[in-house]
Amino acid sequence: MATEYGQADGAGESSALSRAGRGQRPPTFLGGPFAVRTWRAFGYIWLNLPIATVTFVYAVTTLALGAGLLVTFIGVPVLALGLAGCRGIGVLERARARALLGARVGEPRPVRGRKPGVLGWMTSVIKSGESWRHLLYAFLHFPWAVFTFCLAVPVWAYGWAMLTYPLWQWVFPRYADVPGIQLYGDEHREIYLDSPPEIALAAGIGLVVTLLVPYLIRGLTTVDRLLVTGLLGPSRLENRVVELESDRGVVVDTAAEDLRRIERELRGGAQARLEGLESELGLAKAKLTEDPEAAARLVAAAHGEVKSVLQELRGLARGIHPAILTDRGLGPALSALAARCPVPVRVQVDLADRPAPAVEGIAYFAVSELLQNVGSHSGARSARVDAWRSGHHLMLQVADDGTGGADPGAGTGLASLARRMEAVDGVLVVDSPPGTGTTVTAEIPWRDS
The DSSP secondary structure of 193-232, one letter per residue, reads: E-SHHHHHHHHHHHHHHHHHHHHHHHHHHHHHHHHIIIII
The pTM of the whole model exceeds 0.75: no
Please tell me which of 96-100, 254-258, 425-429 the model is most confident about, judged by mean pLDDT.
96-100
| Average of per-residue pLDDT across 25-49 | 81
In this model, does residue 145 exceed pLDDT 60?
yes
| Average of per-residue pLDDT across 66-92 | 88
pLDDT of res. 297 = 78
Alpha helices in 114-195 (DSSP H): 118-127, 129-163, 165-168, 171
For the segment 38-76, what is each residue's pLDDT rounded down to a tens digit?
Answer: 899 999 999 999 999 999 999 999 999 988 888 888 888
Range with lowest mean pLDDT among 110-124, 231-245, 288-302 = 231-245
Which 8-state DSSP code applies to residue 448? B
Beta strand spans in 24-116 (E): none
Which 8-state DSSP code applies to residue 412? S
pLDDT of res. 11 = 36
The alpha carbon of 64 is separated from its chain's Cα centroid by a whole number of angstroms, namely 41
pLDDT of res. 192 = 79
Confidence of residue 315 (pLDDT cuts 50, 70, 90): low
pLDDT of res. 171 = 85
Confidence of residue 20 (pLDDT cuts 50, 70, 90): very low
For the segment 252-311, what is each residue's pLDDT rounded down to a tens digit?
Answer: 555 556 566 666 656 666 666 677 777 777 777 777 777 777 777 777 777 777 777 776
In this model, does residue 8 exceed pLDDT 50?
no
Q: Tell which residue, 273, 364, 373, has the closest CA to residue 319.
A: 364
| Average of per-residue pLDDT across 180-193 | 77
Distance CA 126, CA 79 (A): 7
